[in-house]
Amino acid sequence: MILVTGGCRSGKSAFAEKLVTGDGHGPWLYVATSRITDEEMALRVEKHRQRRGKDWETFEGYSGLAQSLSEKDGRKYRGILVDSVTAMVTNLLFDFIGDVDWESFSFETVDYRAAQDKILDEFRALCRRGEGAPLVFVTDEIGLGVVPETSLGRNFRDILGTVNQYLAGVCGSVYFVISGIPVQIKGGTGEDKR
């Protein structure tokens, strides 16, 4: 397993795609964890889809991925790209919060520790799924900026940071992408071959 992290628009997704397609022989699976919420997001998704090409199959989802990948028979793929961890954590956190009246809801009432535990369980199951194609995860490093002003922002940052630390611990290689330049910060002794 490989983790690719970096800031927004750093080139991490394009780099992760190259890691997955390294030997040039597909098929590969792209796990899209975002929800399309507006036209601009739909255009971004389509742009990424066109860049990947015909040897990529796309699966859209973010919850229960270990089971979903088992059902899709991950062994038929040469590699699986999960893009992105950040969107997956966002969606799982809002699923945990549930259907509330957003106008009056106080994010300070959320049990963020329980949310984090539930979200980590999703990633643990995915990383323990057993046999199957190698996984490459793409995530955002959001802890380098200012402290978020809101309770939701601070707790989201903390949960994503914890998930990123977990993934970095279990992945054989970790890359940090800065301005389109990947820097390997873990691995490099052959274990990064997906």
Q: Tell me: is residue 12 an annotated ligand-binding position.
A: yes
Task: Count CB neighbours of 38 within 10 A.
Answer: 8
Q: Is 53 annotated as a binding residue?
A: no
* Torsion angles phi and psi, residue 35, rounded to 5: -100, 135
- The answer to whether 118 is a known ligand-binding residue is no
49 is in an annotated binding site: yes
Catalytic residue among 16, 17, 48, 62: 48
Instruction: State yes or no: 99 annotated in a binding site.
Output: no
The reply, when asked if residue 13 is annotated as ligand binding, is yes
Q: Is 194 annotated as a binding residue?
A: no
Is 48 a known active-site residue? yes
131 is in an annotated binding site: no
Question: Is 106 annotated as belonging to a binding site?
Answer: no
Tell whether 34 is in a known binding site: yes
Task: Map the chain to HEC letters.
Answer: CEEEEECCCCCHHHHHHHHHCCCCCCCEEEEECCCCCCHHHHHHHHHHHHHHCCCEEEEECCCCHHHHHHHCCHHHCCCEEEECHHHHHHHHHHHHHCCCCCCCCCHHHCCHHHHHHHHHHHHHHHHCCCCCCCEEEECCCCCCCCCCCCHHHHHHHHHHHHHHHHHHHHCCEEEEEECCEEEEEECCCCCCCC
| Residues 6+ positions from 37 with CB-CB distance below 8 Å | none
Q: Is 171 labelled a binding residue?
A: no
Q: How far apart are CA 8 and CA 44, in angstroms?
A: 13
Residues placed in the known binding site: 6-13, 32-34, 49-52, 60, 83
Residues placed in the known binding site for GTP: 6-13, 32-34, 49-52, 60, 83
Residues designated as active site: 48
